[in-house]
Amino acid sequence: MKITELERLNHDLIICRKCPRLTAWREEVALTKRRAFTDQEYWGKPVPGFGDPMAKVLIVGLAPGAHGSNRTGRMFTGDASGDFLFPALYRAGFANQPGSLSWEDGLSLTDVYISAICRCAPPGNKPDHHEIANCLPWLSKEIALLDNLQGLVTLGRIAYDGIRQLYHDQLDLPKDGFAHGALHRMEKGKPWVLCSYHPSRQNTQTGRLTVLMFDQVWNQVRALISQ
């Protein structure tokens, strides 16, 4: 039943046109394309979450990449951030393979579900606060359907701030609580929140986020859900 409800939610999500700027941008990118992908058909719609419907952990990113998820239709698939994320999930035993290029590549996730604060590719990777507010209800509905959820991993400050906004009347998350590796435990029955730098090129190529640092996050997640 819950799998069907997630599928229904995703069906409703992909026809959303609530944000005019984001709708225009994602569709323009899908038409103009990047030279390396001119032979491919872009998704060009809001990108749904995906993963294990019995997930214990929800991974929350920022938004689809213009030529990554906006092209492939699956979160973190086909871009540099995914090239850093999926090998880490594989090493920690959450993914069956260390890479993801398309929907048809055989990737399967265990115990984790991947979503984002904003579901449409934003210009400059920067959704505005109205667009984030428009999109947060989709994330809220997703969380409600993940019955086994124990915790959330927020990839980047905007993801943390979005979760804080979403749970403002339920979780006492500190306003300045984002830091790589910061863990926020809530009252019994509420999910914990673990913060990580986003695996963007801006972070991984500058050394702000290293493979070791990222592996430590997922090893900590493994320990948390095993308690």
pLDDT at 2: 59
| Partners of 154 in the β-ladder | 60, 195
Name the burial class of residue 32, with classes exposed (0-12), middle (13-18) and buried (19+) by CB atoms within 10 angstroms of its CB. Answer: exposed
What are the structural domain ranges in the chain? 2-226
pLDDT at 190: 85
Name the nearest CA neighbour of 134 among 159, 112, 117, 156.
117
Give this prediction's pTM.
0.96
Residue 48 near residue 114 (C-beta atoms within 8 A): no
Q: Which of the residues in the chain have pLDDT under 70?
A: 1-2, 169
Go through the chain and tell me how many residues it has. Answer: 227
Residue 181 near residue 191 (C-beta atoms within 8 A): no
- Which residues does 119 contact at the CB level (< 8 Å), separation at least 6? 13, 16, 46, 47, 48, 63, 64, 135, 138
Residue 222 identity (one-letter amino acid): R
pLDDT at 119: 98
Name the burial class of residue 212, with classes exposed (0-12), middle (13-18) and buried (19+) by CB atoms within 10 angstroms of its CB. Answer: exposed
CA dist., res. 68 & res. 55, Å (int): 24
Tens digits of per-residue pLDDT, 70-125? 999 999 999 999 999 999 999 999 999 999 999 889 999 999 999 999 999 999 99
- Which residues does 16 contact at the CB level (< 8 Å), separation at least 6? 46, 119, 138
CATH number corresponding to 2-226: 3.40.470.10
C-alpha distances in Å from residue 33, one per residue of 49, 101, 123, 185: 23, 17, 14, 43
CA dist., res. 96 & res. 30, Å (int): 29
> Phi and psi dihedrals of 52, rounded to 5?
-80, 115
CA dist., res. 142 & res. 131, Å (int): 18
CA dist., res. 129 & res. 13, Å (int): 19
**DSSP H helical ranges for the chain:** 2-13, 20-32, 69-72, 80-91, 129-145, 157-166, 201-204, 211-226
